[in-house]
Chain A
Amino acid sequence: MHGFLGPNGAGKSTTLRVLLGLLRSNGGSATVFGRDPWADAVDIHRDLAYVPGDVSLWPNLTGGETIDLLTRMRGGAEPARRDRLLREFELDPKRKARGYSKGNRQKVALVAAFARPAKLYILDEPTSGLDPVMESVFRAEVQRAQEDGATVLLSSHILSEVEQLCQRVTIIRAGRAVETGTLAEMRHLTRTSFRVATVAPSAQLAALPGVHDLHAEGDHLAFDVDTDALQPVLSALAAAGVSSLTAAPPSLEELFLRHYGDELPVLEEASAR
């Protein structure tokens, strides 16, 4: 299970389309199952399920017809599996696609992808438009696919989603991979942002390991803490006394701005060339 992270416009969908052989890369190389996705697209696609980022369905076809069309081209759905997915995603297969909301269109694409087992699932922002209950159904389904030995490539711009699901992560920015590794290796990316009203002296907090970017905002202190350094910070805060506290994982955009802000102009120049 590999997460593919990047802000909007970073080139996530383009990369996935290259892996599908829909676009020809104009530099670098890509292999899927050890083969060239452009030349061997048909063979590769037999063992591959794809959920596009912006699901566009045939307005006159019902959800059920769409699912059947897409799975039959790969060899046909397992009926029991199809029924279970329809039930769990609470999707009415008799409605015409023009009547589906964005979330329901997404569900059609997901059911079509999971109703026939594949070796590789390429999912482009698969949870956009899903409510939290459906997101958990989706997570369960992805885990089931992994237990069957499948590989999942999941693109997203939501860090927490990738954190929950993926073992490895690649982060791209302006068309370049800027980080690749296991989540443990990337721990430094997952800092928690604190905003507290406390009497603890700022110098004492700033001296703790894993505390970054400490600064005062009015009568509040704001700082980021590495995930594995949370415990000592919390102890220090508890000892000093806290009158209000908010803690939030940093958004991906913030991370990018902080970590790659300097490189941005360079990268953009490179991609413009």
Chain B
Amino acid sequence: MIRLILLQARRDRIFLTVWVLGITLLLFVSTAAVATEYGSDEERSQILGLALTTPALLALRGVPNGAGLGSAVFFQTFASYAVGVGLMNTFFATRHGRADEERGRRELVAATPTTRSASLVATLLLGLIANIVLGILAFLGFVAGGTDAQGAVVAALALALIGLTFLGVGALAGELVATSRAANGVGAVAVLGAYALRAIGDALGTPDFDALRLETAWPSWLSPIGWGEQTLAFTENRLGPLVLLLALALVAGGGALAVRSRRDLGASLLPERSGRAVARAGLRSPGGLAWRLHWPSLLGWAIGAALLGLVVGSLATVVANASENFPESIQVVLRSLAHGGRSDIIGVFVAAIAVLIGLMAAAAGIQAVLRAREEEADGRAEQVLGGPVSRPRWLLASVGIATVSVLVVLLATAVATFASFASAGDLDSGWRSVGQILVQAPAALVFVGIGALLIGALPRLSVGLTWGLFALAAVIGLLGGLLRLPDWVLDASPITSVPAVPFDSVGDAVLALGIAAAVAIVLALAGAALFHRRNVPA
């Protein structure tokens, strides 16, 4: 048993060390940052009061419980650490569980005189040690950041127990499904699901402005991360939720052990899900294929974009309320990002964020169009082009899906931002944001066109070059104003061409958008023409 633990520890010495030290370092740095940034009780009360009025902030952060330094740190950071610790543990469990089995290493160990569950027991014990070390380091991190020791013990214990819970969940996931990929997926969904459940519960909670506390709604109580928050470390230091965590850890770990000692090598509790024997009707053309390959990624982009939109809307209101207290420097940054002469702070803020959303949409589009090059390099394009499919049609199918991706990301963000403004009763800002986000489309599509052109012209360099140009344009667009770059450099980035909504001059705005759209179309068609003329694969 000791040998097995040492074996796994040796294989994992770098990975575990990096995770544990990384999380600890992050914890220490952010504790210290909160201590310096919000040094006094008044400052902390102010920010907590603001948070209590803003469900989006509660969803991102956690449960406020008083204005002490420890409580503020706990509110700001606990849920994020819990996600880090949880993922560390589920990945760890898979790496020594299902992944070992998949690669045939467990077979080697199982052929020696050990019990069937020996390697899992070793994994759980090593995980236990790792989480204890993490707990001790986390305690030291909190205390070193200046919080009181009793609360630090409770917070560190909660983190370690969340780790153990997800260690058990990860081990159980490895027994449920037959591939390491699926096991990692189940583990990650469990961790992120726990975060999301408490985000919903916290956002729907009832604020108590006098005590600066939040009575969370019931969904938080369905989540292990929510239980960790309910310890209300640094004020009430409740221990009851810790018992819940320990119990779940034991049940999950015990369940995994029970399955492991009964099942065959290579088997899983859930039989491997088989796919469709016959393709859906839509999978009959290059476009259908490109959609089939890209929609899972697009779904991810759209969900991310919608979440960002929700945050933007609620944050904008906060920024507007707090803007009188903003230092001059932040206002300068916002205005330079916005590339427009907006005077009101919400307008500037939305315009600045819309640039980021435009970049996000462009990235989604670039990913979709560059998939064509990936298909070619991996030898799959050959099979499609071996059918009655012309090369321009094949490349433009990816361009089409990329265009759809750009529009979906922008629309998802626009709808979410509008909903978020509308819930605050500010329909006017809502509509304006929708406009400001949607006008990013032509600029984002220019990047899709660049990708298509490079696939046609410089296939081997296309992937690196497209992302490189995107990064360059993004830096120019985001920081050009601050860096006082000359105008012609700024004009070279499509991002700076996006007009501000409402348009100062409808004619100029339509012209700017039209030029960007035309450039995008010309680039894509040129790419298709060049692709038509070159060898495949190149």
**Real complex partners, A and B?**
yes
A binding-site residues for B, Cβ under 8 Å:
17, 20, 22-24, 41-43, 45-46, 48, 50, 52, 54-58, 60-62, 64-70, 72-74, 76, 92-96, 109, 122
B380 at the interface (CB under 8 A from A): yes
Alpha-carbon distance between A50 and B288 when the two chains are bound, in angstroms = 20
User: For A62, what are the chain B residues with a Cβ–Cβ distance below 8 Å?
Assistant: 274-277
By beta carbon, the residue of chain A nearest B179 is: A99
Alpha-carbon distance between A45 and B384 when the two chains are bound, in angstroms = 10
| Distance (whole angstroms) from the CB of B274 to the closest CB of chain A | 4
Check B279 against A45 for contact (C-beta < 8 Å).
Answer: no
7 A-B pairs with the lowest CB-CB distances in the bound complex, closest first? A94-B274, A68-B279, A62-B275, A50-B386, A72-B284, A73-B387, A56-B379
Interface centre among B279, B293, B386, B388 (most CB of A within 10 A): B386
B binding-site residues for A, Cβ under 8 Å:
274-280, 283-286, 288-289, 292-293, 296, 378-380, 382-391, 535-537
Which one of A24, A43, A64, A109 contacts B383 once the chains associate, using CB atoms below 8 Å?
A109
| Given A61-B292, A72-B283, A74-B387: A52 in contact with B277 (beta carbons within 8 A) | no
Which one of A22, A57, A65, A76 contacts B385 once the chains associate, using CB atoms below 8 Å?
A22
| Distance (whole angstroms) from the CB of A243 to the closest CB of chain B | 45
User: For B379, what are the chain A residues with a Cβ–Cβ distance below 8 Å?
Assistant: 52, 54, 56
User: For A46, what are the chain B residues with a Cβ–Cβ distance below 8 Å?
Assistant: 388
| Distance (whole angstroms) from the CB of B346 to the closest CB of chain A | 43
| Distance (whole angstroms) from the CB of A193 to the closest CB of chain B | 37
Which one of B279, B292, B380, B536 contacts A57 once the chains associate, using CB atoms below 8 Å?
B380
Which one of B278, B292, B382 contacts A64 once the chains associate, using CB atoms below 8 Å?
B278
Check A45 against B383 for contact (C-beta < 8 Å).
Answer: no
Other 15 A-B pairs with CB < 8 A, given A20-B385, A74-B387, A74-B388: A41-B391, A45-B387, A48-B386, A50-B382, A54-B379, A56-B379, A57-B380, A68-B283, A69-B279, A70-B383, A72-B285, A94-B274, A94-B277, A95-B274, A95-B275
| Distance (whole angstroms) from the CB of A172 to the closest CB of chain B | 19
Task: Jot down 11 A-B pairs with beta carbons below 8 A, ordered by A.
Answer: A45-B389, A50-B382, A52-B383, A56-B383, A60-B292, A60-B296, A64-B278, A65-B275, A72-B279, A73-B389, A74-B387
| Distance (whole angstroms) from the CB of A258 to the closest CB of chain B | 34
User: For A60, what are the chain B residues with a Cβ–Cβ distance below 8 Å?
Assistant: 292-293, 296
| Distance (whole angstroms) from the CB of A132 to the closest CB of chain B | 26
| Distance (whole angstroms) from the CB of A12 to the closest CB of chain B | 15
Interface centre among B278, B378, B387, B390 (most CB of A within 10 A): B387
Which one of B275, B293, B537 contacts A94 once the chains associate, using CB atoms below 8 Å?
B275
User: For B382, what are the chain A residues with a Cβ–Cβ distance below 8 Å?
Assistant: 17, 22, 50, 52
User: For A61, what are the chain B residues with a Cβ–Cβ distance below 8 Å?
Assistant: 275, 279, 292
Alpha-carbon distance between A56 and B384 when the two chains are bound, in angstroms = 11
Check A24 against B535 for contact (C-beta < 8 Å).
Answer: yes
| Given A54-B379, A69-B284: A23 in contact with B384 (beta carbons within 8 A) | no
Which one of A22, A65, A68 contacts B536 once the chains associate, using CB atoms below 8 Å?
A22
| Distance (whole angstroms) from the CB of B296 to the closest CB of chain A | 8
Check A96 against B275 for contact (C-beta < 8 Å).
Answer: yes
Alpha-carbon distance between A147 and B537 when the two chains are bound, in angstroms = 34
By beta carbon, the residue of chain A nearest B284 is: A72
User: For A50, what are the chain B residues with a Cβ–Cβ distance below 8 Å?
Assistant: 382-383, 386
Which one of A58, A64, A109, A122 contacts B293 once the chains associate, using CB atoms below 8 Å?
A58
Check A23 against B535 for contact (C-beta < 8 Å).
Answer: yes
Alpha-carbon distance between A58 and B292 when the two chains are bound, in angstroms = 10
Alpha-carbon distance between A62 and B536 when the two chains are bound, in angstroms = 25
Check A65 against B279 for contact (C-beta < 8 Å).
Answer: yes
Alpha-carbon distance between A66 and B535 when the two chains are bound, in angstroms = 24
Interface centre among B379, B380, B383 (most CB of A within 10 A): B383
Alpha-carbon distance between A46 and B390 when the two chains are bound, in angstroms = 11
Alpha-carbon distance between A152 and B389 when the two chains are bound, in angstroms = 21
